[in-house]
Amino acid sequence: MDIRFKSLRKYLPVLSIVLVAATLLVIVVLFTLRNITAANQRMEEFTARQGISVIRTLEAGTRTGFMEGDWGIENVQMLIEQAAKDPEVEWVGLINNDGMILAHSDPSKIGLKLLMGKEMDTVKTVIRTGEPLFFKREVPDGRTIFEIWKPFTPFHEQIVQSDLIARHTRIGKELLDVFDREPKQVLFLGLKTDRFEQIRQQDIMYAVFMGAILFIIGSASVYFVFVVQNAYLVRRTLDEMRTYTRNVLESMANGLITVNQSMRVATFNPTALEILRKTKEEIEGRHISELLPLEDEIKRVLSDADAVFEKEVSLSGEGKGKTFLAISVSALKEPDSKVSRGAVIIARDITVIRELEQKVAMSEKFAALGRLSAGVAHEIRNPLNSIRGFIQYFQKKLQLGEEDFRYMELMLTEVDRLNRVISKLLAYSTPREPRLMVRSVDEIMDHCMRVVEREAAQAGVRIVRSRPDGDLPLVLMDTDQMTQVFLNLLINAIEAAGREGTISIRYAKDENGQLTVFVENTGESIPPEHLDKLFDPFFTTKKKGTGLGLAIVKNIIEGHDGEIDVESEPGKGTRFIIRLRAYQPAGIETESLSGNVSAGAVGTPHP
């Protein structure tokens, strides 16, 4: 038994080749038959569409000629004879429900009747169902003709108009008698299939030839496949695993970085580049301390393979705010091993979460501030007004020396300053609802530039404004509030630009209906640690500032469903970016300063 099995194993490759070759041959035969059947079916479908197209052309020609007048059955005969000149057309004929041929590509058959029952049954069936029928007919010379029988109804939809025209034409009544409201005529069309028969024979010969080639090639290649199969399967499995792993890493929503034992970056995924705002060249091979403050954690992970550390870090981008990351550091080790080959860092961007938390905290603080302001503003302002009145009274009543008078004036100045702070605080904590109207941002900016023109000239600051090509989109806004925004930004820019400085104003528009205003100034930049606090109330870097100007500006912009950002880079100055939604006319009535006007009207800028 063992001897027979060993003897059989000698012939196993040969038997495998014969079996596979036979299988290939069977498959080729089956596919050849299937392709020939499919080709015949496509041929019949194509021929049927071609025949229907010819019939519809004849119907359209008949209908068009009749509508032009002086048209009769002889013109239909002429159309049929013309159609029969097509090389693919064998014959064309028109027959009525009595079996009489009304028109034919062979004029000698006109007036004859079909005596065979089969053709009469076909005519009656076509007239009764209204659907075309398709046949194959063998002719005496051995050829096969593809026949199409279809109701001939050139005036079926235009019969009402045809009745009117028929009364005023010479031959119209004749055609209407032939082509009545109900279909009583059948057009039969014979198409040649010689070309398709030739193609089918060529397909058969080609299939036989290809089958022989496949049989030879398959027999020769099976042995080679048999030998290299194992190596190929192993290599393909490794490639699939590698591709799968790469796709997983590239599809991760979190950034992934691996470092070696020297704490240098070994691999990373695209999300890590986006989170760190770095290019591939800026990360690859760098020491981790140049990218993230994780040196201590990685050292501990390298010494203890079971250690896992969670940490939150913040990164300050150049000219932009902070990015908050949730970091996880764990060991990179072999399966079933306790030795760390490196470290795996997973970084998740939680900036949006932190911003939402800050906004919630800020909203709570602003709500408390509003309640506090509303409660004490009245109590503070009344004493301030009394103090101011008493100071002015004593200035007039008492004979004050020069130094005493100067102190009195200083007191008045401080009282007025405190009163302004309270007014701004009230404006910030309880902002009024914007009175919206459709306005041009550029016109309001033009007004604000004229207001600060003298102050800019005294400071030696040049203001430059540039506009894009075309008209700027209009914006639905409160003129007074938006004037307050631009004046505040321009005054701050003048103070920051310094002597011989420049303020640049430019606009940008996009296809999403958004207008962006840039207010840039040269001069000293804002320290990165101050960028996140710039719009906080009472935060200021000015000696005499209240810290409420930019906070009010942000409130106004957000009240207009807009956004404001700030960017500042050392040596390049500061840029404020205001994004406003462009007005989309929808038939609303808007109110301008001069009265009620339709949407889209723009009044004169009003401070």
Encode pLDDT of 510-559 as tens digits: 777 788 999 999 888 888 777 777 877 777 777 666 677 788 888 888 88
**C-alpha dist (Å) from residue 300 to 66, 286, 296, 341:** 97, 19, 6, 13
Q: Which pair of tokens denotes residue 39?
A: 């080709």
Regarding whether 493 and 472 lie in a shared domain, the answer is: yes
Return the amino acid letter for 589. Answer: E
Residue 195 lies in domain? 57-199
- The gap from C-alpha 577 to its chain's centroid, in whole angstroms, comes to 25
pTM over cut 0.85: no
Identify the residue with better confidence: 598 or 324: 324
Residue 76 CA from chain centroid, whole number: 56
Is the CB of residue 33 less than 8 Å from the CB of residue 208?
A: no
Q: Is residue 120 part of a domain?
A: yes
Q: Copy the structure tokens of residue 366.
A: 């602003």
Helix, strand, coil share of the chain (percent; to 5): 50, 20, 25
pLDDT digits 0-9 by tens, 362-375: 667 766 766 666 66
Q: Is the pLDDT of residue 401 over 50?
A: yes
For residue 105, give both structure tokens: 């590509």
CATH of the domain at 401: 1.10.287.130
- Tokens, residue 512: 């999403």
Q: Is 392 left (phi over 0), alpha (psi -120 to 50) or beta?
A: alpha
Q: Which has the closest alpha carbon to 253: 340, 160, 326?
A: 326
493 shares its domain with 579 = yes
Of 83, 123, 72, 136, nearest in space to 105 by CA: 83
Considering the domain boundaries, does residue 24 fall inside one? no
Q: Are 68 and 165 in contact (CB under 8 A)?
A: no
Q: Which of 72-76, 99-103, 283-287, 359-363 has the highest mean pLDDT?
A: 283-287
Contact 93, 109 (CB under 8 A): yes
Bridge partners, residue 332, by sequence: 342
DSSP element (H, E) containing 203: helix 194-251
Query: Which amino acid would we find at residue 59?
Result: E
Mark which of 429, 459, 482 sits at the end of a domain.
429
CA dist 490 and 492 (Å) reads 5
Domain shared by 411 and 490, yes or no: no
**How many residues in the chain?**
607
CA distance 326 to 224: 54
Angle at which helices 194-251 and 12-68 pack, to 10 degrees?
110
Domain boundary among 349, 364, 394: 349
Q: Tokens 């020396």 — which residue?
A: 401
What is the structure's pLDDT at 519?
Answer: 93
Whether residue 143 sits in one domain with residue 114:
yes
| Domains held by the chain: number | 4
Identify the residue with better confidence: 412 or 217: 412
**Residue 125: inside a domain:** yes
DSSP state of 536: S
Q: What is the pLDDT of residue 577?
A: 92
CA 147, CA 191: separation in Å to the nearest integer? 6
Which has the higher per-residue pLDDT, 66 or 149? 149
- Domain-located, residue 411: yes
Give the tens place of pLDDT for each residue, 239-250: 888 787 778 777
| Phi, psi dihedral angles at 272 (to 5 degrees) | -65, -40
- Does 451 share its domain with 333? no
In a domain, 216, yes or no: no
Q: Looking at the structure, tell me whether residues 568 and 528 fall in a common domain.
A: yes
- For residue 50, is it within any domain? no
Task: Give a yes or no: residue 516 inside a domain.
Answer: yes
**81 and 190 part of one domain:** yes
**9: pLDDT strictly greater than 60:** no
276 lies in the same domain as 380: no
Listed residues 284, 318, 349: the one ending a domain:
349
pLDDT of residue 183: 54
Least Cα distance to 533 among 489, 569, 566 occurs for 566
Distance CA 127, CA 180 (A): 13
CATH code (residue 97): 3.30.450.20
Q: Is residue 422 part of a domain?
A: yes
Report the pLDDT averaged over residues 274-278: 83
Higher pLDDT residue, 180 or 504? 504
Q: Are residues 66 and 143 in the same domain?
A: yes
On whether the CB atoms of residues 188 and 137 are closer than 8 A, the answer is no
Q: Assign 4 a pLDDT band (cuts: 50, 70, 90).
A: low
3-state secondary structure 153-180: CCCCCCHHHHHHHHCCCCCHHHHHHHCC
The reply to whether 82 and 96 lie within a common domain is: yes
486 and 560 together in one domain: yes
Q: What is the CATH number of the domain that holds 467?
A: 3.30.565.10
CA distances from 529 to 315, 354, 520, 534 (A): 11, 16, 20, 10
Torsions phi, psi of 320, nearest 5? Answer: -130, 175
Could you tell me the two tokens for 579?
């994004």
Judged by DSSP in three states, 344 sits in strand
- Alpha helices by DSSP H, 560-602: none
Q: In what order do the strands lie in the sheet with 573-581?
A: 462-466, 502-509, 514-521, 573-581, 563-569
Q: Are strands 502-509 and 462-466 parallel, antiparallel or unpaired?
A: parallel
In this prediction, residue 273 carries a pLDDT of 84
The answer on 553 and 458 residing in a single domain is yes
